[in-house]
Amino acid sequence: MAISSLSVDQDNPNHMTDRQRKALAENLKRYGFLIPIVANQDGLIADGQQRWEVAQSLGMEKVPVVKLPIKDVDRRILRQVLNKLKGSHEYYADASEYLKIIEAEEKQTLQELILLSDRELEAALDANKLGTITLKEKEMPEDFGKVECPFCHKKFPLQL
């Protein structure tokens, strides 16, 4: 639908840095819209505000949209759900995948599209060089790599 027929509220808690926006723009240019924007019947966005904003900056006139007949509270719940319910990555599996991408001579593309620094990439590849690691040896305690909030004591993944 026409990009101009969509709108956003000012309440979206999900924000991107300029660096992330640049990576999103590169992903949209390279692969196009893989995930449509989700909006209510009035065109108020529930999910995809950053994709919509980046698409505007790229001069796109139309974007894919899934319009749902939902109340505003459901739009907000959906925004929370889609922003938060994502899987996590297994460190060694990521490192193995990075190696295959590098062997295909796409290291720079990988780094640009997922904002992976040289240091992070080298650390992952160094860990992968440990050789034949059995699954048992790869398993980490459930809270490995997490930090505890001193106030609520909930554990959150450590962000680099």
17/74 same-domain check: yes
11/79 same-domain check: yes
Which has more pLDDT, 155 or 47? 47
Name the residue among 46, 54, 44 with its Cα closest to residue 17: 54
Global confidence as pTM: 0.69
64/103 same-domain check: no
pLDDT band, residue 23 (cuts 50/70/90):
very high
13/65 same-domain check: yes
72/7 same-domain check: yes
Q: Which pLDDT does position 134 carry in this prediction?
A: 41
61/116 same-domain check: no
Domain boundary among 38, 60, 84: 84
Q: Which pLDDT does position 128 carry in this prediction?
A: 66
Look at residue 48 and tell me whether its pLDDT is greater than 80: yes
Report the number of distinct structural domains present in the chain.
Answer: 2
Q: Please give the residue range of the domain that contains residue 74.
A: 3-84
Q: What is the pLDDT of residues 25-42, one digit of tens each?
A: 999 999 999 999 999 999
Q: Which pLDDT does position 146 carry in this prediction?
A: 66
17/42 same-domain check: yes
66/98 same-domain check: no
Look at residue 94 and tell me whether its pLDDT is greater than 50: yes
**132: phi > 0 → left, psi -120 to 50 → alpha, else beta; which?**
beta
Q: What is the pLDDT of residues 110-126, one digit of tens each?
A: 999 989 899 888 888 88
104/130 same-domain check: yes
